A and B are shown apart, each in its own frame.
Chain A
Amino acid sequence: MPDLGKYADTVLSAYAASLLLLALLLVVTLWRGAWVRSELKSVEKRIRGNG
């Protein structure tokens, strides 16, 4: 850990906030992607089953 001096709070909170937002964006993106993918698969299966 480098010595951040008197600005430790500033630097760390900026990093924390940014990484949190980036992680949130990534998680939401992947989660919705996976959900849509599985949902589409089940819909396709159902239609093929009916047709």
Chain B
Amino acid sequence: MSALLLRDLRLAFRAGGGFGLGLAFFLIVTVMVPFSVGPNSATLAVIAPGVLWLGALLACLLSLDRLLALDWEDGSLDLLATAPLPLEAVLSVKSLAHWLTTGLPLVLAAPVLGVLLNLPAGGYLWITLSLLIGTPALSVIGTFGAALTVGLKRGGLLLSLLVMPLYVPTLIFGAEAARRGAAGMAVETPLLMLGGITLGAIALLPFASAAVLRVNLR
């Protein structure tokens, strides 16, 4: 398992592996926001938590089609499916690798980008914490979407269409926690709900992902 994780990480870091693209996308989206809504710092402060969450979600979404597609093309997915390691575990490891290379950098970048959006001082801790709790769910749900669409030629757009509705609860609770934190209100409930969704997704969704991947591999 750790060998698989190391392999995925190494592939991601290698040139052309796409590491950092998500991060760059997150940066560019955040920079575009003031251009579209105007530079008024009071407005920006209000929408900052939501924008950061949405930007992180989109960056995560856009990196999903690489999650399985490369392994699908060169046939290593078939190898992994016949390996002694259960496919559920393989996909969990892949989700973890995706989170380490996409989700975690987003979490770390969010407070920096918060400065650009004039995020209130109380909000930095909560945006980081809510993203830290929420992004693993994004990776695991995204793996399910990637497994669903892996065999399709034009899967990218469809992948977004399928995964976005599944992201709704995570986004609502995550952004709500960040927003309440930025406004100085109590954040326990949305954070706990967010944690619940993440844990539930990590525990259950790999089975669904493995099931659809088996269908796609037969």
A–B direct contact (CB < 8 Å): no
Please report B residues at the A interface, Cβ cutoff 8 Å: none
